[in-house]
Structure 1
Amino acid sequence: MPYQPPTHTVERSMRATLGVRTVAGVDEVGRGAWAGPVTVCAAITGLRRPPEGLTDSKLLTRQRRTQIAAVLTDWVTCYALGHSSPEEIDEFGMTAALRMAAGRALEALPVRPDAVILDGKHNYLGDAWTVRTVIKGDQSCVAVAAASVIAKVRRDAAMAELGLEYSSFAFADNAGYPSPVHRAALEELGPTVHHRLSWSYLDAMPRWQHLKKVRAGVDTGEPVSADAGEQLGFDF
């Protein structure tokens, strides 16, 4: 399928129908990882033409993502990152963790957006913001695509830095997501302080099952400040 660049169609529609002026695109990365935070980026881009090649971060090679992210950080009107730690994910569940991380990103923007375009079909932000959910918004909406690329590159870099301390887990390669090397290290060494202990991977590891945290009635094992990254031990 030929490359289809993202557009401002949804943002223009929101401006026309809702009377809003400033719209932020929001996307997350790290939802399905075994280790590390879940990271959300909020980006405001205005209605300018996007950089060439911008699309969902998952459709780009690592090298191309890094190149585009370097352009985006200067091209966007503004952006901010928010994070929820593994401890918060374990305690509150992924939906609440996403809400906290997204709220932190949006509150850290220098300009408060009037509305938000949220990638996917579920509004995990709730009623605190005016939200339009867009399935595959990271491919079709400029601001969401920008948020997708920035979030992915910044979280990957932070996980690679973490991997210098925990070399057996190969975080530079897997960014905390499941992989054979990651699983082998877990089985041998057990989870680090950066692992999510409510995730189902521990069910298959008898040696470490006793560490699993179970939260009744909350999703388990499912893959509000500018300095939130520093608070979690990540220099984003």
Structure 2
Amino acid sequence: MLLSSHQDMFVEAGCDEAGRGCLAGPVFAAAVIFCRTFKHEVLTDSKQLSAAQRSELRQLIEAEALAFAVASATPQEIDRINIHNASYLAMHRALDMLALKAEYIIVDGNRFIPYQQTPHCCIIKGDGKYLSIAAASILAKTYRDEYMEQIAEEFPAYGWGQNKGYPTTQHRTAIIAHGFTPHHRRSFRVTDPQLSLF
């Protein structure tokens, strides 16, 4: 894992999102700024870590980052502007919330809507290459998971405490049995032809 070479010249923020492929819940995004000398051997893409590791690293990130922020876009916003634009909206909101102004942005993936007039770079699989993006992926994932566990208490049939809103068989079967909730993304399609709900 690396710090980007741009950190020698700019205050650089790494950005990533969580929850893009879910049927329910917001999409979350985070932005993280580290100092130039920050290093960590374990910090990597959140998908490569256990829940316990993510929780431990979240505490470290929040303690060690020069600045961090987490934001979201609602299911209704996702339905209105599509999931890709909603992901960028959540990233922009996180960047707005940073205590330090980002002078350069690195983003996981291959697309991004420019933020104000700040230069940026898209990096495919950036969450496995750059520490600030990896940290953003962990914050976005852990904050989103907590949110889904909270709303699962109100709608226990959908299994959000376990599936976090992703299209598992349990989740799709629950939609057939119980219908939609205000937390569902109505614009999403279920790929299984036997469970074509939307």
- TM-score by structure 2 length? 0.92
CA positional deviation for 1:15 = 4.7
Q: Which amino acid aligns with 1:31?
A: R
- What's the Cα RMSD here? 1.8
Q: Which amino acid aligns with 1:64?
A: Q
Deviation track 1:148-174 (CA, whole Å, cap 9, x = no partner) reads 111111110110111111111111111
CA positional deviation for 1:205 = 4.8
2:96 corresponds in structure 1 to 107
Deviation track 1:7-52 (CA, whole Å, cap 9, x = no partner) reads 11xx22x256xxx420000000010010000111000012233334
CA positional deviation for 1:126 = 6.2
Q: Which amino acid aligns with 2:175?
A: L
1:192 corresponds in structure 2 to 181
Structure 2 portions without partners, runs of 5+: none
For 1:200, what is the secondary structure of its paired residue?
Answer: coil
CA positional deviation for 1:95 = 2.2
Q: Which region of structure 1 is more displaced relative to structure 2, 67-76 or 146-155?
A: 67-76
Is structure 2 residue 169 aligned with structure 1 residue 174?
no
2:60 corresponds in structure 1 to 71
CA positional deviation for 1:191 = 1.3
Residues matched between the structures, number:
197
For 2:138, what is the secondary structure of its paired residue?
Answer: helix
Deviation track 1:182-211 (CA, whole Å, cap 9, x = no partner) reads 1111110011100000001297556x54xx
CA contact (8 A) 1:51 1:72 kept: no
2:120 corresponds in structure 1 to 131
**1:15–1:53 distance in 2 versus 1, CA, 3 Å:** closer
CA contact (8 A) 1:51 1:68 kept: no
Matches within 5 A, 1:224-235: none
CA contact (8 A) 1:51 1:71 kept: no
For 1:34, what is the secondary structure of its paired residue?
Answer: coil
Q: Which region of structure 1 is more displaced relative to structure 2, 42-51 or 185-194?
A: 42-51
Q: Which amino acid aligns with 2:190?
A: Y
CA contact (8 A) 1:116 1:132 kept: yes
1:7 corresponds in structure 2 to 2
Q: Which region of structure 1 is more displaced relative to structure 2, 73-82 or 120-129?
A: 120-129
1:50 corresponds in structure 2 to 39
CA contact (8 A) 1:102 1:125 kept: no
Q: Which amino acid aligns with 2:189?
A: S
CA contact (8 A) 1:163 1:172 kept: yes
For 1:98, what is the secondary structure of its paired residue?
Answer: helix
Identity value in percent: 31
